Amino acid sequence: MKKDLSQFGIVGLGTMGSALARNIESRGLRVSVYNRHADKTAAFLKSYPDSGFTGSKSLRTFALSLATPRKIMLMVDAGPAVDAVIASLLPHLQKGDIIVDGGNSHYRDTQRREKALSEKSIFFIGCGVSGGEEGALKGPSLMPGGNAAAYKKVAPVFKAIAAKDFSGEPCVTRVGANGAGHYVKMVHNGIEYGIMQLLAETYHLLSTVYGMPPPRIAQMFASWNRGKHHSYLFEIVQHVLLAQDDTKKGYLINAISDVAAAKGTGMWASLDALDRGVPVPTITEAVYARYISADKTRRAVLQKKYSHSYRRNGLPNNPADLIGDALYAAIISTFAQGYDLIARAAQEEKWQINLAEISRIWEGGCIIRAKLLKTFHAAFAASPHAHLFETKQVQSLVQRHAPKLALFVSGANSSGIPLPAFSSSLYYYESIREHRLPSNLIQGLRDYFGAHGFERTDRSGTFHADWK
């Protein structure tokens, strides 16, 4: 390898691409960078004049600046932009080079790209990256999926830049073949949706029903975060609640519009779960909650037609312990749904995903990192193919906290505020543990009007009844 050639390349110098490039370079590696807008590349190089970066104005010179086999990470918008960059890069690559897509691409696109590039003897890795700008710079959680031999070539770089788990090991592992990495990142984002909705509902209840100001709510989250809830999201919610508005007196949270944006990964997880027949109610309700929030005009009209007051019936005067326990059960339920979806996809796609390893690499760097993941890691290490609720480590937690979730939902549902994530988390737990559900009536009705047939509990086969 020529001394002046770079060991790694980054295409795309947006927020995440710039941060990842700086992270890699800080580990003593020379990094080539390219952005389709040359002025952005120039500005980046000017900001770090004494660093080991090589900038290029064309993909040809970018490719020539890299040692072979080339290791190139794309940090561009998911969708057509990824295909366009790949098409532009291909004439400058050779057999054995490796392209890594570090964006939030749909896993089906990753499977398609991996297949097409493998036919040209180019390796393609779809890598989920979680942690935001700070994580990308200081240590993200990385979820790569693709060819095992190709992963071994990029693994030293990934292990160097990744966050550390609770044991000090890098938060990266080869998740599985082709689209497995982007699939796991998609579900990670779905779980993230669910947990954030739970936090939002907690804030809503405390601010409206209990009339607590932002500092008091932040104090409650701080108390929870010092214990079993210790996590990144519980930490940053305090900063969001306490931030001052720099344009007028007061807290910024009170001036933020209640219309929540979404990039689509939560929806992807819900749609994929529907396709596979896996229930993920908390994740899906979190997606729906964002859609309802976006319907601001209609909500304003209907509020005038259906005025109501907030009530505290059935809720304690000091709700910290009850809500804290209810949150704990609901978050476990949300993770259980996500893990179950990953397990089903792994089975159907033949990915051989290790859920203990997924839990481990989520322990650091990523948005959903939490103390709970240490328990999940141990649970799946002991019972690799079990549902999370079936594991010994989690069963005791659920049995202890689920009754508090039921008590909280019972009281809070009469308060006058919507609680879709809490309610669906409880619904999932109550349903998944129920030996006999009322679906027998549904089967009877279907057979009545459509002659669809039904199965019996006392003998095998499909039956039809003469209902009239």
CATH number at 295 reads: 1.10.1040.10
Which amino acids are annotated as binding site for substrate, given as ranges? 104, 130-132, 188-189, 193, 263, 290, 446, 452
16 contacts 133 by C-beta, under 8 angstroms: yes
Strands 123-130 and 98-101: parallel
pLDDT band of 462, cuts 50, 70, 90? very high
Q: Alpha-carbon torsion 393, 280, 411, 230, what sign?
A: positive
- Give the residue numbers spanning the domain of 285: 185-433
| pLDDT average, residue stretch 309-316 | 88
Which amino acids are annotated as binding site, given as ranges? 104, 130-132, 188-189, 193, 263, 290, 446, 452
Q: Is pTM, for the whole model, over 0.75?
A: yes
| pLDDT average, residue stretch 64-85 | 96
Length of the chain: 468
- Tens digit of each residue's pLDDT (9 = 90 or more) over 115-163: 999 999 999 999 999 999 999 999 999 999 999 999 999 999 999 999 9
Whose tokens are 């500005």? That residue is 43
pLDDT band of 2, cuts 50, 70, 90? low
Query: How many Å from the N-terminal Cα to the C-terminal Cα in the chain?
Result: 83
Structural domain ending residue among the three candidates 174, 199, 231: 174
**Residue 159 sits in the same domain as residue 212:** no
User: What CATH code is carried by the domain that includes residue 27?
Assistant: 3.40.50.720
**Residue 271 sits in the same domain as residue 322:** yes
DSSP H or E run through 412: helix 392-412
Q: Residue 314 has what pLDDT? A: 84
Among the ranges given (58-62, 299-303, 361-365, 420-424), the one the predictor scored with the smallest mean pLDDT: 299-303
378, pLDDT greater than 70: yes
Indicate the DSSP class of residue 280: -
CB atoms within 10 A of CB 432: 16
Q: Residue 55 has what pLDDT? A: 95
**Residue 318 sits in the same domain as residue 409:** yes
| pLDDT average, residue stretch 8-30 | 96
234, pLDDT greater than 70: yes
3, pLDDT greater than 90: no
417, pLDDT greater than 80: yes
Q: CA-CA distance, 28 to 60, in Å (whole number)?
A: 25
193, pLDDT greater than 90: yes
DSSP H or E run through 8: strand 8-11
Residue 328 domain flag: yes
Number of domains in the chain: 3
**Residue 128 sits in the same domain as residue 54:** yes
219, pLDDT greater than 70: yes
- Tens digit of each residue's pLDDT (9 = 90 or more) over 244-281: 999 988 999 999 999 987 777 889 999 999 999 999 99
Per cent of the chain over pLDDT 70 is 99
Amino acid at 203: Y
Q: Residue 1 has what pLDDT? A: 45
Mean pLDDT over the full length of the chain? 96
Tokens (6 digits) for 153: 């070539």
Question: Could you give the residue numbers annotated as active site?
Answer: 185, 192
